[in-house]
Amino acid sequence: MSMPLFRILVPILVGIAALGVWEAAVTLGDVPKFVLPAPSVIGTALMENFGSLMSALWVTLRITLLAFALAVVGGVALAILFSQSRLIEMALFPYAIILQVTPVVAIAPLVLIWVGFDNVNMALLILAWIVAFFPILSNTTLGLRSVDHNLMDLFTLYGATRWQRLWSLQLPAALPFILGGMKISGGLALIGAVVAEFVAGSGSGTGLAWRIIEAGNRLQVPTMFAALLLLSLLGIAIFFALTLLEHLALRRWHESAVNRSS
C-alpha cells in the first residue's frame, strides 16, 4: 500500500474502532444518555437539529472569518508600519503585547459593556479579532526584518525606493512568516469567537457556543456533542484551507514546501 494512503487510513481505522468501542460500552453498560450518549444517538441528534445547528454554525463561521480577515489586514498593515518606522514600533509594540497576554475572557465583559448588549455580534467580532491579531503582527514583523542583508544592500545600490523595497523584497520574503502566522491565527479566531460567545451568554447569541450552553442547560447532552463535533470540523476545515494556501503560495520556491523526493 502506498504511504500517503496508509497515513490517511490508519487514523480513520483508529477512529472507527474507538467509535465502535464507545457505542458498545455505552449500550452494554446502560450509561444514561445525559451522561455519555452513544455515537449513534449523537448522530440522530445532529440530524434532528440539522437546520438550527447549521444556522448556528454559519453565525460562528461568519464571525470567525470576518475576525480572521480583519486580523490579517490589520496585522500585516501594522507590521508594515513598524518596518517603516522604528519609533512607531517602539511606541506601539508593547501595547500589542499587553493586548495579547491579557486573557480575552477577562476583557470580554468590558467590551460587551462598551459595545452594548444589543450589539453582541460586534463584541464577538472585536474579541475574536483581539485573539487572532497578534500572531499575524508578530510573525509579519519578524518576516519583514529577516530579509537577507545582502539583498537589502543590493536594493540600496540600485537606488530602490522605500515602496519598491517593501513590495519587491520585504513582503515576498516575509510571505512564509505571514502564512505561518495565518495558520495559528485562523484557529485562534475560532477559539476567540467561541470564548466570546460563552462570555456574552444569552442575548442575541445564536452561534454554536451558545447552542452548547443552551443544550447543556436543558441536559440535551447529545445535541451538545453534535455542536461540539461541528466546531471541531470547522477548526479542521480552517486549518486545512490555510495549509493548502501555504502550500500553493510557497511550493515552488520555499524550502519548507519543496518536496525533496521529487
Partner 1 sequence: MSPPPPAPNGPLLTLSGVSKSYNGDTPAVADVSLSIERGSFVSLVGPSGCGKSTLLRLIAGLLQPSHGTLDWEDGERPNDLGFVFQDATLLPWASAFDNVYLPLKLKGLSRDDADRRVKDALARVGLADASDKLPRELSGGMRMRVSIARALVTEPPVLLMDEPFAALDEFTREKLDDDLLTLWRDLGWTVIFVTHSVYESVYLSERILVMSSGSHGSGGPGQIADDVRIDAPYPRGLPFRQSSAYFDHCKGVSTALRDGDA
Q: Which residues bind partner 1 (CB under 8 A)?
A: 148, 150-151, 153-160, 164, 168-169, 172, 175, 252-255, 258
Q: In angstroms, give the least distance from the CB of 140 to partner 1.
A: 17
Nearest in space to 241 (alpha carbons), one of 35, 69, 83: 69
Biggest CA-to-CA distance, the chain = 78
**Minimum gap (Å) between residue 139 Cβ and partner 1:** 18
Q: Which is nearer to partner 1, 2 or 150 (CB)?
A: 150
Q: CB of residue 154 vs partner 1: minimum separation in angstroms?
A: 6
* Smallest separation, CB 262 to partner 1 (Å): 11
For 184-203, b/e burial (b = at least 16 CB within 10 A) is bbbbbbbbbbbbbbbbbeee
Closest distance to partner 1 from the beta carbon of 145 (Å):
17
Tell me which long-range contacts 77-80 makes (C-beta under 8 A, separation of at least 24). 78/137, 79/136, 79/137, 79/140, 79/141, 79/143, 79/144, 79/174, 80/140, 80/144, 80/166, 80/171
Cβ of residue 25: shortest distance to partner 1, in angstroms? 53
Q: Which is nearer to partner 1, 218 or 247 (CB)?
A: 247
Task: Decide whether 59 or 182 has the Cβ nearer to partner 1.
Answer: 182
Task: Tell me whether residue 7 or residue 260 sits nearer to partner 1 (CB atom).
Answer: 260
Nearer to partner 1, 122 or 257 (CB): 257
Instruction: Of 217, 219, 234, 201, give the one whose Cα is nearest residue 32.
Output: 219
Which three cell numbers mark 18? 474507538
Residue 118 or residue 255: which is nearer to partner 1 going by CB?
255
Distance (Å, whole) CA 122 – CA 11:
39
